[in-house]
Structure 1
Amino acid sequence: MNNLLQFSSLKRFIQSRWYPGLFQWAAMLVFAVIVVELVAGTVNPSRNFGTSMTWVLWWPAIPVLFLVLGRFWCAVCPFGKLSDLVRKAVGAERPMPRFLKKYGIWFIDFFFILITWSDHIWGIVESPRGSGYLLLLLTTMVVGTSVFYERRTFCKTLCFLGGLAGNYSRSGMLALRGTPEICKGCKTQSCYRGNEKAEGCPMFEFVKTMDNSADCNLCGNCVKSCPNDSVRIFLRKPTSELWGIGKPRMEHAFLAAVIMGIVFVQNITMLEIWQQILGVIGKVTGTANYNVNFTVAFICSMLIPIGLLWLAARLTAGSSQPKDAVMKNFIRFGYAIIPLDLAGHLAHNLFHAFTEGKAVWFNTTGLFGYPMSGDLAFASTGVVQLLQYLVVVLGLAGSVYAVYRIGGRASWRKLLPYYALMLLLAAINIYLFSLPMMHRV
């Protein structure tokens, strides 16, 4: 594994005060403009700079950023920088509450599901005001948390994007670790505690024992503070972390399955047959209320991959296995869904990026007094569909290989239920992407 910090210019930049501050302040400036435009700009989502920057550019780019750069976005995120500023100015620096330490990932899972559900109930994406108020609500949560608690407690345990970032970054190509031989003799623990050169890890990570990238923001604090030059930043094979996780956790496996279900429902609600589907659900529920029927569809979409993963785990847990074998299989092989999650998320948002992408340029020029209009598409629907199919196939390859490695390179017959699961999830995605979709923004 090559250490990118062997490049002296890169190492000096990361150790300087310009990193990640240069990116953070740029992101803060853009974020401020976005919030103002969302709250006070036009209510037409296709003409609003904030809407196009958030949902047409940023949201489709997020899975790519996590795959290529790990959680680098979290290092420059405006919410994270705001948390640091508030904490340094008026923070009480109290320890993170025990219940957040224990259940923080579940809170993140819950908030991610809640925000996705809320989008369809209150039309957050289609409403600049709704998007703006959501960002202001998150800002309030960040400020409130930072006033009372140490480091980035909000980012670690409450940020709705945290679970997504953690799961996706496990498949990422960029990772930060310590050098075991050097860390073993370290007495200072500067990477965690901090020193005069930099604060301790904002995400409560200890480089010496860190074996995954789920919570590493690549903020560079440990690179600045380590007195032994132990920290390495290196490139690795995508998805390689998924089959070497020391302590698999239910929260991560659960979220991996849930994300797949959310990708399904995001696609289904954009299909021309969505109203017919609502009609069928309405016959079962006995009401035409959209909120009720969408909630039923939303829950069912999440339960489908959860149930399928549980079935695969049950089929591979023979009668001679321990009683908790099904649960262990569910958790271990749940991580194998993550590459398909990434692919489904990216493929879905390719539709927005390539068929609405020019809105980013048009609305940006409009901010400077040069309004432009015209066809928003960069590519035809047919081209976008081909790209979507390709992305899903690549995600399928990543998930299938992850199953193979998690299973200890066992025979294909032993792992057949998991291979079948990945093929089925990929097939469902490809089928949904083959159907005509409507724009939401």
Structure 2
Amino acid sequence: MKKWKQILRTVFVLDLTDGRLNLFELFPWLKRFFYNRTYFAWIRTFGDIVFLGLILLGLFGPQDPRRNVMLFLAWGVWWTSVVLSWFFVGRMWCAFCPFPGLARLLQNLGLSRLKNPPRWMTCKGLHLATAGFFFIIWAETVTDMKHSPLLTALLLLSIVAGATLLGVLYRGYTWCRYLCPLGKIIGSAATMALTEFRSDYEKCRDCRTFSCRRGREGLRPCPVFLGAYHAKNNLVCLVCGHCLVLCERDSPALYLRHPLREQIINKGRYITCGYVIPLLMGSQVARFVYEGPHFSFFKNLLGFGNALTFTFLFAVATLFFIELIKAGSVLFVYYEDELFGRFSPMIPVVMPLAFTGELVYRLRYFLREAGDFLPTLGRQIHLTFLENYRFTVDPFWIKLISFFLIFLGLAGGFYIAHYFYRREFEGLVPLKNYLLINLLFITCGLLYLLLQ
């Protein structure tokens, strides 16, 4: 009972000084799981096989969406599961990701140059990866990719091709660290996760080998060139546990924490989040409109086709959120520090809504299509009796779940704004500014709620 009280207190009571719980000490079996690399290899192999099956079904299976289950498995099960994982295990999904599977195999066979990534990639990778992710969202929407097995398979293959090429040219997971379109969005969302993988800096203090970053005899270093002692946030660490085997001081561990702890500590300092959040929220508003009853109004008003109208809505909504975040940060008054540098306090305020909004969008597709999974499978493998198991989820429940998740995102944002006002920036933010910040955030929330 004491163990679970500790867990509940850590998750629900924010403590910036000592608000973490070492899960390896609390659950020793969890530490054994991370240490045994065979488990990770089995999970990755299983994921690679399933992923290969999805691609083959998309390329060579029926192109009628009512006769091919790969669409629901890819867009409904897989992508929704990835979004859900953000809130619990951060980037751990990336540790099992099938995209670099072929690259990993080629590197193990010695068919890689194993060079260090070039400087331009480390400098411009954020911009390229962010642009790539939002191109995927744009293409997914305007090509109706969720109803095209072939286009879905080609999208997956293109990401595999990018990861494989960089795996042959450079060492480690260069693609995952710098250019993966999904990696930046997952990394940004992981800053709100309930868990973090960190080293014990007291144990690392006198380390001279830095094996977690450099590797040691017979063991390769951290695949994303980080090392446990450099993992100060959840943006890059894959939670793969590779550094556990490398470390001679038993330093890295998995910690439980309050989900908003990292956001409050860093106050919007992450450049990655500054790029991702307004684009993500803009894309969500555009997608909600595109799939709602009001899209035809905008289409007729502008006189454009579907693709141009969606692109216009995407751009306008993104600009709206960019300016809203700028205005909110200015209202906080304190957004630059000599030591801390420039930061954007409004980013942490809107982040919970941004990522719950993405969960709402993906979950809506899952709930709408779940009832047709068995009938689709039956039509695909010629078991007609499975068509009798079709069901539908009442739109009322889908909307209710959507509203609940959006209210959770709003609650998280209001909590952060209040914490900044009363504690972090105590006495610095005028009351009228604080009220205006809340008004801006309420505007975001109403926009999301009205589009459901």
Q: TM-score, normalised by structure 2?
A: 0.87
Q: Which residue number corresponds to residue 10 of structure 1?
A: 30
Map 1:278-317 to 2 at 5 A: 278-282=299-303, 288-317=304-333
Q: Which residue number corresponds to residue 64 of structure 1?
A: 84
Q: Check 1:246–1:380 CA distance in 2 against 1; reply closer, same or farther (3 A cut).
A: closer
Q: Say whether the 8 Å CA contact 1:261–1:302 is kept in structure 2.
A: yes
Query: Which residue of 361, 364, 370 maps to 1:348?
Result: 361
- Structure 1 residues 381-418: Cα deviation after superposition (integer angstroms, max 9, x where no partner): 10111111110011111122223345515365443333
Displacement of 1:275 in angstroms is 1.4
Q: Which residue number corresponds to residue 437 of structure 1?
A: none
Q: Say whether the 8 Å CA contact 1:337–1:422 is kept in structure 2.
A: yes
Secondary structure of the structure 1 residue equivalent to 2:232: coil
Structure 2 counterpart of 1:112, which letter? F
Displacement of 1:22 in angstroms is 1.6
Q: Say whether the 8 Å CA contact 2:176–2:183 is kept in structure 1.
A: yes
Map 1:330-369 to 2 at 5 A: 331-363=344-376
Q: Which residue number corresponds to residue 73 of structure 1?
A: 93
Q: Check 1:432–1:24 CA distance in 2 against 1; reply closer, same or farther (3 A cut).
A: same
Q: Which residue number corresponds to residue 428 of structure 1?
A: 447
Query: Which residue of 111, 116, 121 maps to 1:95?
Result: 116
Secondary structure of the structure 2 residue equivalent to 1:56: helix
Secondary structure of the structure 2 residue equivalent to 1:233: strand
Q: Say whether the 8 Å CA contact 2:23–2:255 is kept in structure 1.
A: yes
Q: Say whether the 8 Å CA contact 1:74–1:80 is kept in structure 2.
A: no
Map 1:35-54 to 2 at 5 A: 35-54=55-74
1:373 is aligned to 2:394: no
Displacement of 1:8 in angstroms is 3.0
Secondary structure of the structure 1 residue equivalent to 2:196: strand
- Structure 1 residues 141-160: Cα deviation after superposition (integer angstroms, max 9, x where no partner): 11111110111111111111
- Structure 1 residues 201-254: Cα deviation after superposition (integer angstroms, max 9, x where no partner): 111213213210111111110111111111110111112111112882333212
Secondary structure of the structure 2 residue equivalent to 1:55: helix
Q: Check 1:354–1:32 CA distance in 2 against 1; reply closer, same or farther (3 A cut).
A: same
Q: Check 1:323–1:76 CA distance in 2 against 1; reply closer, same or farther (3 A cut).
A: closer
Q: Distance in 2 between matches of 1:361 and 1:73?
A: 27
Secondary structure of the structure 2 residue equivalent to 1:199: coil
Unaligned ranges ≥5, structure 1 = 283-287, 434-441
Q: Mean Cα displacement is larger for which, 250-259 or 233-242?
A: 250-259
Q: Check 1:47–1:405 CA distance in 2 against 1; reply closer, same or farther (3 A cut).
A: farther
Q: Say whether the 8 Å CA contact 2:331–2:437 is kept in structure 1.
A: no
Q: Say whether the 8 Å CA contact 1:20–1:220 is kept in structure 2.
A: no
Q: Which residue number corresponds to residue 229 of structure 2?
A: 208
Query: Which residue of 171, 195, 211 maps to 1:150?
Result: 171
Q: Say whether the 8 Å CA contact 1:198–1:221 is kept in structure 2.
A: no
Secondary structure of the structure 2 residue equivalent to 1:356: helix
Q: Distance in 1 between matches of 2:140 and 2:221?
A: 36
Q: Which residue number corresponds to residue 143 of structure 2?
A: 122
Q: Distance in 2 between matches of 1:256 and 1:88?
A: 37
Q: Distance in 1 between matches of 2:419 and 2:272?
A: 21
Q: Which residue number corresponds to residue 438 of structure 1?
A: none
Q: Distance in 2 between matches of 1:124 and 1:217?
A: 28
- Structure 1 residues 35-79: Cα deviation after superposition (integer angstroms, max 9, x where no partner): 011111111224312111011112222221110111111000101
Identity of aligned residues (%): 23
Structure 2 counterpart of 1:77, which letter? C
Q: Which residue number corresponds to residue 195 of structure 1?
A: 216
Q: Distance in 2 between matches of 1:342 and 1:220?
A: 25
Q: Check 1:66–1:361 CA distance in 2 against 1; reply closer, same or farther (3 A cut).
A: farther
Q: Say whether the 8 Å CA contact 1:167–1:338 is kept in structure 2.
A: no
Secondary structure of the structure 2 residue equivalent to 1:2: strand
Structure 2 counterpart of 1:272, which letter? P
Q: Say whether the 8 Å CA contact 2:374–2:390 is kept in structure 1.
A: no
Q: Distance in 1 between matches of 2:367 and 2:336?
A: 50
Q: Mean Cα displacement is larger for which, 408-417 or 346-355?
A: 408-417
Unaligned ranges ≥5, structure 2 = 1-19
Q: TM-score, normalised by structure 1?
A: 0.89
Map 1:241-252 to 2 at 5 A: 241-245=262-266, 248-252=269-273
Q: Say whether the 8 Å CA contact 2:100–2:160 is kept in structure 1.
A: no
Secondary structure of the structure 2 residue equivalent to 1:175: strand
Q: Check 1:391–1:88 CA distance in 2 against 1; reply closer, same or farther (3 A cut).
A: same
Map 1:142-181 to 2 at 5 A: 142-181=163-202
